[in-house]
Protein backbone atom coordinates (compact mmCIF):
# COMPACT_ATOMS: atom_id res chain seq x y z
CA UNK A 1 0.00 0.00 0.00
CA UNK A 2 1.28 3.48 -0.88
CA UNK A 3 0.93 6.42 1.46
CA UNK A 4 0.54 10.14 0.97
CA UNK A 5 3.88 11.84 1.48
CA UNK A 6 4.34 13.41 4.93
CA UNK A 7 5.49 16.52 3.04
CA UNK A 8 1.77 17.32 2.87
CA UNK A 9 0.67 18.94 6.11
CA UNK A 10 -3.11 18.87 6.52
CA UNK A 11 -4.67 21.71 8.52
CA UNK A 12 -7.84 19.73 9.38
CA UNK A 13 -8.75 16.01 9.48
CA UNK A 14 -11.73 16.58 7.14
CA UNK A 15 -12.23 14.33 4.11
CA UNK A 16 -14.45 16.32 1.77
CA UNK A 17 -17.19 14.45 -0.03
CA UNK A 18 -19.13 17.23 -1.72
CA UNK A 19 -19.58 20.97 -1.63
CA UNK A 20 -22.28 23.53 -2.24
CA UNK A 21 -21.52 27.24 -2.29
CA UNK A 22 -19.55 28.08 0.85
CA UNK A 23 -20.29 24.73 2.49
CA UNK A 24 -18.47 21.37 2.46
CA UNK A 25 -19.90 18.03 3.59
CA UNK A 26 -17.52 15.32 4.74
CA UNK A 27 -17.83 11.59 4.18
CA UNK A 28 -19.98 11.27 7.31
CA UNK A 29 -22.25 14.02 5.96
CA UNK A 30 -21.07 16.51 8.56
CA UNK A 31 -21.51 20.10 7.39
CA UNK A 32 -18.66 22.63 7.51
CA UNK A 33 -18.70 26.29 6.65
CA UNK A 34 -15.73 26.49 4.31
CA UNK A 35 -13.91 29.77 4.89
CA UNK A 36 -10.83 28.49 3.05
CA UNK A 37 -12.32 28.01 -0.45
CA UNK A 38 -9.45 25.72 -1.46
CA UNK A 39 -7.05 28.56 -0.48
CA UNK A 40 -9.04 31.30 -2.13
CA UNK A 41 -9.86 29.41 -5.32
CA UNK A 42 -13.53 28.44 -5.46
CA UNK A 43 -14.86 31.97 -5.72
CA UNK A 44 -18.17 30.99 -7.31
CA UNK A 45 -18.64 28.43 -4.53
CA UNK A 46 -18.32 24.69 -4.62
CA UNK A 47 -20.00 23.09 -7.62
CA UNK A 48 -21.77 26.16 -8.95
CA UNK A 49 -24.38 24.70 -11.35
CA UNK A 50 -23.30 26.94 -14.25
CA UNK A 51 -19.64 26.03 -13.87
CA UNK A 52 -20.53 22.34 -13.56
CA UNK A 53 -22.69 22.53 -16.72
CA UNK A 54 -20.00 24.35 -18.72
CA UNK A 55 -17.33 21.85 -17.68
CA UNK A 56 -19.56 18.84 -18.35
CA UNK A 57 -20.45 20.12 -21.78
CA UNK A 58 -16.79 20.73 -22.63
CA UNK A 59 -15.65 17.33 -21.30
CA UNK A 60 -18.00 15.67 -23.76
CA UNK A 61 -16.57 17.73 -26.66
CA UNK A 62 -12.82 17.87 -26.15
CA UNK A 63 -10.83 17.67 -22.91
CA UNK A 64 -7.34 18.45 -24.07
CA UNK A 65 -6.12 20.01 -27.30
CA UNK A 66 -2.56 21.19 -27.01
CA UNK A 67 -2.43 24.91 -27.68
CA UNK A 68 0.87 24.93 -29.51
CA UNK A 69 -0.55 22.34 -31.90
CA UNK A 70 -4.24 23.15 -32.31
CA UNK A 71 -6.35 25.90 -30.76
CA UNK A 72 -9.66 25.29 -29.09
CA UNK A 73 -12.74 27.50 -28.89
CA UNK A 74 -12.86 27.94 -25.06
CA UNK A 75 -9.34 29.41 -25.11
CA UNK A 76 -10.11 31.77 -28.00
CA UNK A 77 -13.33 32.88 -26.34
CA UNK A 78 -11.65 33.32 -22.96
CA UNK A 79 -8.83 35.48 -24.27
CA UNK A 80 -11.41 37.69 -25.98
CA UNK A 81 -13.63 37.93 -22.89
CA UNK A 82 -10.66 38.75 -20.62
CA UNK A 83 -10.65 42.24 -22.13
CA UNK A 84 -13.81 42.85 -20.04
CA UNK A 85 -11.78 42.62 -16.84
CA UNK A 86 -8.10 43.24 -17.67
CA UNK A 87 -6.57 46.62 -16.86
CA UNK A 88 -6.35 48.99 -19.80
CA UNK A 89 -3.40 48.36 -22.06
CA UNK A 90 -2.86 44.78 -20.90
CA UNK A 91 -4.24 43.19 -24.01
CA UNK A 92 -2.12 40.07 -24.48
CA UNK A 93 -2.32 36.87 -22.42
CA UNK A 94 -0.35 33.70 -21.91
CA UNK A 95 -1.93 30.80 -20.01
CA UNK A 96 -0.49 28.09 -17.74
CA UNK A 97 -1.87 25.87 -14.96
CA UNK A 98 -0.77 27.10 -11.55
CA UNK A 99 0.19 30.32 -9.83
CA UNK A 100 3.84 29.29 -9.61
CA UNK A 101 3.99 28.61 -13.33
CA UNK A 102 2.47 31.98 -14.08
CA UNK A 103 5.03 33.64 -11.78
CA UNK A 104 7.78 31.85 -13.71
CA UNK A 105 6.25 32.98 -16.98
CA UNK A 106 6.24 36.60 -15.77
CA UNK A 107 9.81 36.30 -14.55
CA UNK A 108 10.99 34.93 -17.89
CA UNK A 109 9.06 37.55 -19.82
CA UNK A 110 10.57 40.31 -17.68
CA UNK A 111 14.10 39.04 -18.25
CA UNK A 112 13.62 38.51 -21.98
CA UNK A 113 11.80 41.78 -22.54
CA UNK A 114 14.34 43.94 -20.69
CA UNK A 115 17.52 41.95 -21.23
CA UNK A 116 18.22 42.49 -17.51
CA UNK A 117 18.89 39.73 -14.97
CA UNK A 118 17.58 40.85 -11.58
CA UNK A 119 14.16 40.85 -9.94
CA UNK A 120 13.28 42.82 -6.82
CA UNK A 121 10.72 41.05 -4.62
CA UNK A 122 9.36 42.24 -1.27
CA UNK A 123 9.70 40.87 2.25
CA UNK A 124 6.82 38.60 3.21
CA UNK A 125 5.90 37.95 -0.42
CA UNK A 126 4.74 34.51 -1.49
CA UNK A 127 5.01 33.61 -5.16
CA UNK A 128 4.96 29.81 -5.17
CA UNK A 129 6.97 26.70 -4.57
CA UNK A 130 8.88 25.93 -7.76
CA UNK A 131 12.55 26.76 -7.40
CA UNK A 132 12.30 30.09 -9.22
CA UNK A 133 9.06 31.07 -7.45
CA UNK A 134 10.48 29.98 -4.07
CA UNK A 135 13.54 32.15 -4.76
CA UNK A 136 11.20 35.13 -4.94
CA UNK A 137 9.32 34.05 -1.80
CA UNK A 138 10.12 35.35 1.69
CA UNK A 139 6.91 34.65 3.58
CA UNK A 140 8.50 31.84 5.61
CA UNK A 141 11.71 29.83 5.66
CA UNK A 142 9.81 26.55 5.19
CA UNK A 143 9.36 27.50 1.53
CA UNK A 144 13.13 27.99 1.02
CA UNK A 145 15.07 26.06 3.60
CA UNK A 146 16.85 22.94 2.37
CA UNK A 147 16.44 23.78 -1.32
CA UNK A 148 19.58 25.85 -1.78
CA UNK A 149 21.03 27.00 -4.01
CA UNK A 150 17.98 28.93 -5.10
CA UNK A 151 17.85 31.04 -8.25
CA UNK A 152 20.34 33.90 -8.34
CA UNK A 153 19.32 37.40 -9.40
CA UNK A 154 16.78 38.06 -6.65
CA UNK A 155 17.00 41.06 -4.31
CA UNK A 156 14.46 41.54 -1.54
CA UNK A 157 13.29 44.89 -0.21
CA UNK A 158 10.89 45.71 2.67
CA UNK A 159 7.14 45.67 2.14
CA UNK A 160 5.37 48.37 4.16
CA UNK A 161 4.15 46.44 7.19
CA UNK A 162 2.95 48.83 9.88
CA UNK A 163 2.24 46.00 12.36
CA UNK A 164 5.93 45.08 12.62
CA UNK A 165 7.15 48.08 14.57
CA UNK A 166 3.89 49.69 15.57
CA UNK A 167 4.41 52.26 12.81
CA UNK A 168 1.84 54.29 10.96
CA UNK A 169 1.19 53.30 7.35
CA UNK A 170 2.98 56.49 6.31
CA UNK A 171 6.11 55.61 8.31
CA UNK A 172 6.12 52.05 7.01
CA UNK A 173 5.74 53.22 3.41
CA UNK A 174 8.44 55.83 3.78
CA UNK A 175 10.81 53.23 5.23
CA UNK A 176 10.04 50.72 2.46
CA UNK A 177 10.66 53.22 -0.35
CA UNK A 178 13.89 54.49 1.23
CA UNK A 179 15.14 50.94 1.59
CA UNK A 180 14.24 50.25 -2.04
CA UNK A 181 16.28 53.24 -3.16
CA UNK A 182 19.13 51.97 -1.00
CA UNK A 183 18.85 48.53 -2.62
CA UNK A 184 18.93 50.06 -6.11
CA UNK A 185 22.07 51.93 -5.08
CA UNK A 186 23.90 49.09 -3.34
CA UNK A 187 22.67 45.67 -4.52
CA UNK A 188 21.00 45.75 -7.92
CA UNK A 189 21.61 48.76 -10.13
CA UNK A 190 18.50 49.96 -12.00
CA UNK A 191 20.08 49.01 -15.33
CA UNK A 192 20.42 45.41 -14.05
CA UNK A 193 16.87 45.28 -12.68
CA UNK A 194 14.19 43.74 -14.86
CA UNK A 195 11.18 43.95 -12.56
CA UNK A 196 9.59 44.74 -9.24
CA UNK A 197 7.36 41.80 -8.23
CA UNK A 198 4.72 42.69 -5.67
CA UNK A 199 1.43 41.47 -4.19
CA UNK A 200 -1.26 44.16 -3.66
CA UNK A 201 -2.03 42.40 -0.37
CA UNK A 202 0.60 40.10 1.14
CA UNK A 203 -1.15 36.73 1.13
CA UNK A 204 0.76 33.88 2.73
CA UNK A 205 2.89 36.60 4.35
CA UNK A 206 0.03 37.59 6.69
CA UNK A 207 -2.75 39.44 4.83
CA UNK A 208 -1.09 42.86 4.85
CA UNK A 209 -2.48 45.35 2.31
CA UNK A 210 0.03 47.54 0.47
CA UNK A 211 -0.46 51.29 0.50
CA UNK A 212 -1.34 53.43 -2.51
CA UNK A 213 1.77 55.54 -1.85
CA UNK A 214 4.03 52.49 -1.84
CA UNK A 215 2.67 51.17 -5.14
CA UNK A 216 2.81 54.68 -6.64
CA UNK A 217 6.44 54.83 -5.49
CA UNK A 218 7.18 51.55 -7.27
CA UNK A 219 5.43 52.81 -10.41
CA UNK A 220 7.42 56.04 -10.39
CA UNK A 221 10.75 54.23 -9.97
CA UNK A 222 9.79 51.65 -12.59
CA UNK A 223 9.02 54.41 -15.09
CA UNK A 224 12.19 56.31 -14.24
CA UNK A 225 14.47 53.29 -14.73
CA UNK A 226 12.68 51.19 -17.36
CA UNK A 227 11.89 48.51 -14.76
CA UNK A 228 8.67 46.49 -15.17
CA UNK A 229 6.04 46.55 -12.44
CA UNK A 230 4.75 42.98 -12.10
CA UNK A 231 1.71 42.58 -9.88
CA UNK A 232 1.06 39.11 -8.46
CA UNK A 233 -2.74 38.89 -8.29
CA UNK A 234 -2.82 35.12 -7.85
CA UNK A 235 -4.60 35.43 -4.50
CA UNK A 236 -6.02 38.96 -4.76
CA UNK A 237 -7.63 38.71 -8.20
CA UNK A 238 -11.11 37.78 -9.36
CA UNK A 239 -13.04 39.83 -6.83
CA UNK A 240 -11.41 38.44 -3.69
CA UNK A 241 -10.69 41.90 -2.25
CA UNK A 242 -14.04 43.48 -3.16
CA UNK A 243 -12.66 44.93 -6.42
CA UNK A 244 -11.97 42.80 -9.46
CA UNK A 245 -8.19 43.15 -8.98
CA UNK A 246 -6.43 43.89 -5.73
CA UNK A 247 -4.41 46.70 -7.33
CA UNK A 248 -7.69 48.47 -8.24
CA UNK A 249 -7.81 49.65 -4.61
CA UNK A 250 -4.60 51.59 -5.11
CA UNK A 251 -4.94 53.14 -8.56
CA UNK A 252 -1.64 51.77 -9.83
CA UNK A 253 -0.96 50.64 -13.40
CA UNK A 254 0.87 47.29 -13.70
CA UNK A 255 3.03 46.30 -16.68
CA UNK A 256 2.44 42.60 -16.08
CA UNK A 257 -0.41 41.00 -14.15
CA UNK A 258 -0.27 37.44 -12.83
CA UNK A 259 -3.55 35.59 -12.27
CA UNK A 260 -4.65 32.12 -11.11
CA UNK A 261 -6.82 30.78 -8.21
CA UNK A 262 -10.27 32.36 -8.73
CA UNK A 263 -10.03 32.32 -12.52
CA UNK A 264 -11.72 28.97 -13.16
CA UNK A 265 -13.61 28.11 -9.94
CA UNK A 266 -11.17 25.34 -9.05
CA UNK A 267 -9.97 24.00 -12.40
CA UNK A 268 -6.20 24.45 -12.80
CA UNK A 269 -5.65 27.56 -14.88
CA UNK A 270 -3.37 30.57 -14.57
CA UNK A 271 -2.03 33.28 -16.80
CA UNK A 272 -0.11 36.46 -17.28
CA UNK A 273 -1.32 39.60 -19.03
CA UNK A 274 0.81 42.37 -20.52
CA UNK A 275 0.70 44.73 -23.48
CA UNK A 276 1.11 43.21 -26.92
CA UNK A 277 4.28 45.23 -27.34
CA UNK A 278 5.83 43.75 -24.18
CA UNK A 279 4.74 40.19 -24.93
CA UNK A 280 6.09 40.65 -28.46
CA UNK A 281 9.59 41.09 -27.05
CA UNK A 282 9.64 37.42 -25.94
CA UNK A 283 10.46 35.05 -28.74
CA UNK A 284 7.86 32.56 -30.04
CA UNK A 285 8.16 29.13 -28.46
CA UNK A 286 10.07 30.45 -25.44
CA UNK A 287 7.16 29.60 -23.14
CA UNK A 288 4.49 26.92 -23.13
CA UNK A 289 3.59 23.66 -21.44
CA UNK A 290 1.76 20.45 -22.24
CA UNK A 291 -1.32 21.22 -20.15
CA UNK A 292 -1.51 25.01 -20.38
CA UNK A 293 -4.96 26.49 -21.09
CA UNK A 294 -6.81 23.20 -20.75
CA UNK A 295 -10.11 23.30 -22.66
CA UNK A 296 -12.29 22.29 -19.68
CA UNK A 297 -10.53 24.82 -17.44
CA UNK A 298 -11.07 27.57 -20.03
CA UNK A 299 -14.76 26.63 -20.33
CA UNK A 300 -15.03 26.83 -16.54
CA UNK A 301 -13.31 30.24 -16.59
CA UNK A 302 -15.86 31.53 -19.11
CA UNK A 303 -18.69 30.31 -16.87
CA UNK A 304 -16.92 31.88 -13.87
CA UNK A 305 -16.85 35.25 -15.62
CA UNK A 306 -20.59 35.00 -16.36
CA UNK A 307 -21.46 34.00 -12.80
CA UNK A 308 -19.31 36.76 -11.33
CA UNK A 309 -21.11 39.33 -13.41
CA UNK A 310 -24.66 37.98 -13.06
CA UNK A 311 -24.43 37.45 -9.30
CA UNK A 312 -22.31 40.57 -8.71
CA UNK A 313 -19.75 38.58 -6.77
CA UNK A 314 -17.35 41.51 -6.58
CA UNK A 315 -20.08 43.56 -4.88
CA UNK A 316 -20.94 40.65 -2.61
CA UNK A 317 -17.27 40.26 -1.63
CA UNK A 318 -17.19 43.95 -0.65
CA UNK A 319 -20.47 43.81 1.32
CA UNK A 320 -19.89 40.46 3.04
CA UNK A 321 -16.28 41.49 3.66
CA UNK A 322 -17.41 44.52 5.65
CA UNK A 323 -19.89 42.37 7.58
CA UNK A 324 -17.20 39.80 8.36
CA UNK A 325 -14.70 42.49 9.34
CA UNK A 326 -17.29 43.79 11.83
CA UNK A 327 -17.66 40.33 13.36
CA UNK A 328 -13.90 39.73 13.54
CA UNK A 329 -13.29 43.16 15.04
CA UNK A 330 -15.98 42.52 17.67
CA UNK A 331 -14.29 39.20 18.56
CA UNK A 332 -10.89 40.93 18.78
CA UNK A 333 -12.27 43.48 21.23
CA UNK A 334 -13.09 40.65 23.64
CA UNK A 335 -9.80 38.77 23.14
CA UNK A 336 -6.59 40.63 23.83
CA UNK A 337 -4.53 37.94 22.07
CA UNK A 338 -6.00 39.15 18.75
CA UNK A 339 -4.05 42.32 18.10
CA UNK A 340 -5.10 43.16 14.56
CA UNK A 341 -7.91 42.48 12.08
CA UNK A 342 -6.93 43.44 8.56
CA UNK A 343 -7.26 42.76 4.85
CA UNK A 344 -9.58 43.78 2.03
CA UNK A 345 -12.97 42.43 0.97
CA UNK A 346 -13.20 38.71 1.67
CA UNK A 347 -9.46 38.40 2.27
CA UNK A 348 -9.36 39.04 6.01
CA UNK A 349 -7.02 37.95 8.77
CA UNK A 350 -6.96 38.08 12.58
CA UNK A 351 -3.44 38.34 13.99
CA UNK A 352 -2.50 36.69 17.30
CA UNK A 353 0.28 38.03 19.52
CA UNK A 354 1.48 37.25 23.02
CA UNK A 355 1.22 39.80 25.82
CA UNK A 356 4.83 40.74 24.94
CA UNK A 357 3.80 41.51 21.37
CA UNK A 358 5.45 38.44 19.83
CA UNK A 359 3.69 36.69 16.91
CA UNK A 360 1.74 33.78 18.43
CA UNK A 361 1.32 30.93 15.95
CA UNK A 362 0.46 28.39 18.66
CA UNK A 363 -2.63 30.26 19.86
CA UNK A 364 -3.70 31.01 16.28
CA UNK A 365 -3.46 27.30 15.42
CA UNK A 366 -5.44 26.34 18.53
CA UNK A 367 -8.21 28.73 17.49
CA UNK A 368 -8.15 27.44 13.91
CA UNK A 369 -8.42 23.84 15.12
CA UNK A 370 -11.20 24.64 17.58
CA UNK A 371 -13.07 26.34 14.73
CA UNK A 372 -12.78 23.17 12.62
CA UNK A 373 -14.24 21.16 15.50
CA UNK A 374 -17.15 23.61 15.62
CA UNK A 375 -17.71 23.23 11.87
CA UNK A 376 -15.83 26.28 10.52
CA UNK A 377 -12.87 25.61 8.23
CA UNK A 378 -10.08 28.20 8.42
CA UNK A 379 -6.38 28.46 7.57
CA UNK A 380 -3.47 30.31 9.10
CA UNK A 381 -0.80 32.39 7.38
CA UNK A 382 2.10 34.66 8.29
CA UNK A 383 5.72 33.61 8.88
CA UNK A 384 4.87 32.33 12.38
CA UNK A 385 1.41 31.07 11.38
CA UNK A 386 0.14 33.84 13.63
CA UNK A 387 -2.70 35.03 11.39
CA UNK A 388 -5.98 33.14 11.04
CA UNK A 389 -7.41 33.97 7.64
CA UNK A 390 -10.96 34.07 6.38
CA UNK A 391 -11.41 33.54 2.64
CA UNK A 392 -14.86 32.12 1.92
CA UNK A 393 -16.32 31.72 -1.56
CA UNK A 394 -17.55 35.06 -2.88
CA UNK A 395 -21.10 33.64 -2.97
CA UNK A 396 -21.12 33.44 0.84
CA UNK A 397 -24.43 34.70 2.25
CA UNK A 398 -25.20 37.16 5.04
CA UNK A 399 -26.50 34.30 7.20
CA UNK A 400 -23.35 32.25 6.63
CA UNK A 401 -21.11 35.17 7.60
CA UNK A 402 -23.12 35.59 10.81
CA UNK A 403 -22.91 31.88 11.51
CA UNK A 404 -19.13 31.98 10.94
CA UNK A 405 -18.88 34.96 13.31
CA UNK A 406 -20.71 32.98 16.02
CA UNK A 407 -18.52 29.90 15.48
CA UNK A 408 -15.36 32.02 15.61
CA UNK A 409 -16.42 33.53 18.95
CA UNK A 410 -17.02 30.03 20.29
CA UNK A 411 -13.56 28.90 19.11
CA UNK A 412 -11.64 31.56 21.03
CB of 183 to ligand PLP, least distance (A): 21
CB of 38 to ligand PLP, least distance (A): 10
Q: Is 99 in the site for ligand PLP (CB under 6 A)?
A: yes
What part of residues 180-199 is at the interface with ligand PLP (CB under 6 A)?
Answer: 199
CB of 204 to ligand PLP, least distance (A): 6
Q: Is 100 in the site for ligand PLP (CB under 6 A)?
A: yes
The residue among 98 and 368 lying less far from ligand PLP, judged by its C-beta, is 98
CB of 201 to ligand PLP, least distance (A): 9
Among 104, 232, 255, 360, contact with ligand PLP (rule: CB under 6 A): 232
What part of residues 233-292 is at the interface with ligand PLP (CB under 6 A)?
Answer: 234-235, 260
250, HSE (Cβ side, Cα atoms, 13 Å): 25
**Coil, strand or helix at 23:** strand
Strands 347-352 and 193-198: unpaired
The residue among 258 and 407 lying less far from ligand PLP, judged by its C-beta, is 258
98, HSE (Cβ side, Cα atoms, 13 Å): 10
Go through 221-260 and write b for each residue having 16 or more CB atoms within 10 A of its CB, e for each that does not: bbeeeebbbbbbbbbbbbbbbbbbbbbbbbebbbbbbbbb
**Coil, strand or helix at 409:** helix
Among 36, 43, 58, 98, contact with ligand PLP (rule: CB under 6 A): 98
Q: Is 128 in the site for ligand PLP (CB under 6 A)?
A: yes
How many residues make up the chain in this entry?
A: 412
Count of residues of this chain found to bind ligand PLP when the rule CB under 6 A is applied? 15
Other CB atoms within 10 A of residue 192 CB: 15
Strands 387-390 and 379-381: antiparallel
Other CB atoms within 10 A of residue 14 CB: 18
The residue among 202 and 314 lying less far from ligand PLP, judged by its C-beta, is 202
| 8-state DSSP, 5 | -
Q: Is 36 in the site for ligand PLP (CB under 6 A)?
A: no
Q: Is 162 in the site for ligand PLP (CB under 6 A)?
A: no
Applying CB under 6 A, the residues found at the interface with ligand PLP are 39, 98-100, 103, 126-128, 199, 203-204, 232, 234-235, 260
Amino acid sequence: MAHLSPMLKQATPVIADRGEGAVIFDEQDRRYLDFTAGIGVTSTGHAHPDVVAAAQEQVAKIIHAQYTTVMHRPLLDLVERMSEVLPEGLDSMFFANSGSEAVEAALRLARQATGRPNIVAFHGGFHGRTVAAASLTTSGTKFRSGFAPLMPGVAVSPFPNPTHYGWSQEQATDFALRELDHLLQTVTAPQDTAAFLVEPVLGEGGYVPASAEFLAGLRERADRHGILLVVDEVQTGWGRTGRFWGHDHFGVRPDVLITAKGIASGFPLSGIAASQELMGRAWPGSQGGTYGANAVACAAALATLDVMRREDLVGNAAARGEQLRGRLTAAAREHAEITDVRGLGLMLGSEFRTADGEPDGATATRAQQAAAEHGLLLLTCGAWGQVVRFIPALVVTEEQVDEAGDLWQKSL
